Amino acid sequence: MNNNLYGFTPKMGTIDAAMAVKDFVEKGLVAGEFIVLVSLDVKGAFDAAWWPSFLNGLKACGCPKKSI
């Protein structure tokens, strides 16, 4: 099971996702790391988005493939 999947997963919801982000940020801050959080509201955009371009842009910025 993917531990990063919260939507449409039994017994997992938005509170679980928010707590995972909170824990990730707290651990990074304690370790003295820089934390950047990007939140996108893409409701309805998944079907129309050109994801290869979006993902290539993230890769070009050095974003990791997986964080939390």
User: HSE on the CB side for 65, CA within 13 Å?
Assistant: 0
Helix and strand totals (H; E) in the chain: 2, 0
- The reported pLDDT for the residue numbered 31 is 95
Q: Could you tell me which residues come within 8 angstroms of residue 66 by beta carbon, excluding any fewer than 6 positions away?
A: 4
- Per-residue pLDDT for the chain (68 aa), expressed as one digit of tens each? 456 666 667 777 778 888 888 898 999 999 999 888 877 766 665 666 677 887 888 888 777 776 55
- The reported pLDDT for the residue numbered 49 is 67
pTM of the model: 0.51
Distances (CA, A) of 22 to 45, 46, 48: 26, 26, 31
- The reported pLDDT for the residue numbered 1 is 45
Distances (CA, A) of 33 to 21, 25, 36, 47, 62: 15, 9, 10, 35, 16
- The reported pLDDT for the residue numbered 33 is 92
